[in-house]
Every structure is written in C-alpha cells, then in structure tokens.
Structure 1
C-alpha cells in the first residue's frame, strides 16, 4: 500500500504534468543535462517536517513543502521571462482548481517563486524558477 506522503508526491507530480503538457517533468532528477523545448520541471520529495500530533484518534498532521524547479528558454514569440511566467501561472491555476488534491490533502497551495538566469555552455541563456508546493495532510502513521 502506498503511503500518504508518496500518494501526495505522485499527485503533485501528476497535477504539474497535466498543467504543462509540453514540459518534461521529472522527480528527484540529480542533475539536469538539458532543457527541452517545452521546458523542464523537477519535483523533489522535500521534507514533511515535524508533524503536529493529536491523540484519540492518533493523527499526524504534516505541512509538507514539496520543492519544484522549472526551467525554460525563450520561445519563438515570447521572451524567457514570459515563458516561465506562463508555466508558473498554469501550475498555480491547476492547484487553485482543487485545493484538496482530490481529497488527499486538507489544503494545498503554491508559494511564491524565486527566479534567476541559467546558463549552459553553447546555448542561449534560460530562466529558472524555484518554489514550493505546500501540502497539508494528515495520516495515522508517519510511515504509512
């Protein structure tokens, strides 16, 4: 049986894939070798942190920050800043449309991104944005 943490991480990744159909979406990619024409998204497992614990019934409430990195180049019609902005907007709208992630979470939202340039040898400079998805969920077992 899949743990609640893993189910939330898979659902976050699937939601991003649905929001950005042209992007390459990877989970826990060690080192990006290239940014594809539709952009690259890396979803990391993050740290669920110390849970709040309630007794009777025993419940662990996590505020899990899931780090997300997106990278893109300019398109034929848009500068790289606009491409990143559109990608961020699509991801944000996807999570706003269902704040419970299909019932897996009590609440989910994206936090504000930090953006920067990314340069690779022999390629035009790209743009990267790093942010977290905050998923708040409860489980009866910290490992389950």
Structure 2
C-alpha cells in the first residue's frame, strides 16, 4: 500500500498529466522539448514535521518541485501559458481530491538555458508546498 506522501505525489503527477505539456516524474531533461512544453515533477523535501500527541500525528509542509521547460521561437508566451496552466490545475482542487490539506505553488524564477545546435530552453523550478498529516513519517 502506498504511503500518504506517495499517494499525494502521484495525485499531483496525475493532475499535471492532464495538461497539454508532457508530464514526467523524476526523469532527466531531454535535449528537445515539444511545443506545448515539458513538466518534470521532483519529489522534493518533506521537511521537518510539526507533531501533535494523543493521537500522534506528523504535520508536513512538503516542498515538491515542478521543472517547467519550453523551447522554440515563442518561448516567453509558451512559458507564461504553461505556468498559468499549472496554477489553474492546482486552483481547481487544492486538496488533490481530499488527499492533502492544501497544495500551493510558489512563483517561478525563469532562466534561459542554451542548447548547443538548437533553440534554447526557458525553464524554471516551481516549488509546490503540499500540506498533509500522517501517523508515521515512513507511512
């Protein structure tokens, strides 16, 4: 049975997979990106939980990361559209189907990445804070 953490990350990946961009999880950045863009979900860092006793609960603010990448001549517009679509997908259901308490993206910090022999990438890491509670840090 998957852990709470894995269930939530899988739900986030499923939500991203519904977007026009290709959505991967934990993969390496390819040399070329399709016109709609590429999203790579990284598991990120669960951080140190706050705890409550009786019953014991671990309250996490897990920082997952979405790498958003576009390539081509209209990179700025494509990047803006891709980031807006991530925001819209998260805003549609901040609890990811009731699996977490709240999911909130932070603003991207875009950079241009040169690619030898091809159009450069415009990319950013978009942190997504996932608030959830579990009875066991390993469960």
Structure 1 residue 119 corresponds to structure 2 residue 114: yes
Match of 1:9 in 2: 9
Matches within 5 A, 1:58-69: 58-69=56-67
SS in 1 for 2:119: coil
Could you list the per-position Cα deviations for residues 7-29 of structure 1 after superposition, in whole angstroms to 9, with x for gaps in the alignment?
111111111111x22x2211111
Q: Which runs of 5+ in 2 are unaligned?
A: none
1 or 2, which has the higher strand percentage? 2
RMSD in angstroms over aligned alpha carbons? 1.3
Cα deviation for residue 31 of structure 1 reads 4.2
Residue-pair matches, total: 139
Distance in structure 2 (CA, Å) of the matches to 1:91 and 1:43 = 12
Contact 2:35–2:72 under 8 Å retained in 1:
no
The answer to which of 34-43 and 82-91 deviates more is 34-43
Contact 2:32–2:71 under 8 Å retained in 1:
no
Could you list the per-position Cα deviations for residues 67-91 of structure 1 after superposition, in whole angstroms to 9, with x for gaps in the alignment?
111111236xxx2111011011011
Structure 1 residue 83 corresponds to structure 2 residue 83: no
TM, length-normalised to structure 2: 0.94
Matches within 5 A, 1:39-118: 39-74=37-72, 79-118=74-113
Contact 1:74–1:81 under 8 Å retained in 2:
no
The answer to which of 28-37 and 88-97 deviates more is 28-37
Find runs of 4+ consecutive structure 1 residues off by over 2 angstroms. 30-34
